Amino acid sequence: MARIKYILLPVLVLLIGQLAHAQQFLSHFSLASGQGKVVLNWTIAAGNTCLGIDIVRSTDGQSFSSIGSIGGVCGSIDEPVSYSFVDEAPALNQTNSYKLLLGLDQESEVRSVEVVDLGSTGYQIRPHPVYQDGVLYFENDREEPHTLSIFQLNGHLLSEQSSSTDHFILDLSAWPAGLYPFRITNTRSGEGKAKGKVVHQ
């Protein structure tokens, strides 16, 4: 038993060391989605280099396939180096998971983002019809403040809320079933962003 412990300990130390080195290899790795695309941004920390970068994607978090690559020597011994990659065709209305394969022996942590297809209306409601609560997505790449106004069919204002993200949380649990018109406007400029109707059942 003592011999088994002696053999496993170096292996465990090696695995921990490789994981720590992989985390130190990148000083930054982030995703941003908008207009049906996903932008990947990452930075290789100073003192690290690799031969080529492969960008891989998965929709189940398990099986990854390559969607692009950067050839040649990447990174620098002297300074951090930043990179960007645009996924022009992510899976719409699904969670897209990304990972970077850095050379032969390094890989990044997995980063995930949901890509919502807003279609021609400029918004999407999930789920729809809304039974108690839901999410109203809209285009807001610049993270500007927007106001959601929800009305009764007779035009009476029921509620307003603000958001600088790309969505509003809908809580209709206290409202009777029915059809509720809404309007999204830019809070600063007053410009209309989108309008439609929420079906509440």
What is residue 119's DSSP assignment? G
Whole-number Cα distances in Å, 51 to 18, 102, 180: 17, 7, 56
The average pLDDT across 146-169 equals 97
* 95 strand-pairing partners: 114
Q: What is the DSSP letter of 43?
A: E
110 neighbors 40 (Cβ within 8 angstroms): no
Cα radius of gyration (the chain): 23
Residue 75 has pLDDT above 50, yes or no: yes
pLDDT in tens, 5-44: 333 434 333 334 444 445 589 999 999 988 889 999 999 9
Q: What is the mean pLDDT of residues 150-166?
A: 97
Average pLDDT of every residue of the chain: 90
Q: What is the mean pLDDT of residues 139-163?
A: 96
Q: Could you tell me which CATH class the domain 119-200 is placed in?
A: mainly beta
Per domain, the residue ranges of the chain are 27-115, 119-200
* Of 133, 160, 166, nearest in space to 147 by CA: 160
Domain 27-115 in CATH 2.60.40.2360? The answer is yes
Name the residue with higher pLDDT: 166 or 22: 166
pLDDT of residue 22: 55
Mean pLDDT of 99-117: 94
Mean pLDDT, residues 157-178: 96
Q: Where are the alpha helices (DSSP H) in the chain?
A: 2-25
Q: Is the dihedral of CA 61, 64, 70, 73 positive or negative?
A: positive
Q: pLDDT by residue (tens digit) across 58-69?
A: 999 999 999 999
Q: CA-CA distance, 76 to 85, in Å (whole number)?
A: 19
Question: Mean pLDDT, to the nearest integer, of 114-139?
Answer: 94
pLDDT tens digits along 176-200: 999 999 999 999 999 999 999 999 9
pLDDT value at 3 more than 50: no
Nearest in space to 111 (alpha carbons), one of 57, 67, 74, 66: 57
pLDDT tens, position by position, 44-54: 999 999 999 99
Q: Read off the pTM.
A: 0.72
Cα–Cα distance measured from residue 39 to residue 29, given in angstroms and rounded to the nearest whole number: 11
Q: Is 95 helix (H, G, I), strand (E, B) or coil?
A: strand
